[in-house]
Amino acid sequence: MQEKKALGFGLAAVLLWSTVATAFKITLNYFSPVQMVAAASVVSAIALLVIAGFQGKLSLLLPTLRARPFYYLMLGLINPCIYYLVLFQAYELLPASQAQPLNYSWAITLTLMAAVFLGQKIRPQDWVACLFGYLGVVVIATKGDLMALQFDSPLGVTLALLSTLLWALFWILNTKNQADPVVGVLLGFLLSLPCSVGLSLVMGGWQPIPWQGWLAVTYVGLFEMGITFVLWLNAMKLTRNTAKLSNLIFLSPFISLMLLATIIGETIHPATLVGLVMIIIGLLIQQWRSKAKSEDANASC
pLDDT by residue for the chain (301 residues), tens only, comes to: 777 888 888 889 889 989 999 999 999 999 999 999 999 999 999 999 999 999 999 999 999 999 999 999 999 999 999 999 999 999 999 999 889 888 888 878 888 888 888 787 887 888 888 888 888 888 887 877 766 556 778 899 999 999 999 998 988 888 778 888 889 889 999 999 999 999 999 987 788 899 999 999 999 999 988 888 888 877 877 777 666 676 777 788 889 999 999 999 998 888 889 988 988 888 888 777 544 444 443 433 4
pTM of the model: 0.87
Cis check for the bond before 80: say yes or no (omega within 30 of 0). Answer: yes
Q: Domain locations in the chain? A: 95-152+269-301
Burial of 264 (0-12, 13-18, 19+ CB in 10 A): middle
Question: In 10 A of CB 155, how many CB atoms?
Answer: 12
Q: Supply the pLDDT for residue 122.
A: 80
Q: Supply the pLDDT for residue 155.
A: 93
Distance (Å, whole) CA 258 – CA 255: 5
Residue type, 240: R
Q: Supply the pLDDT for residue 30.
A: 96
Distance (Å, whole) CA 229 – CA 287: 21
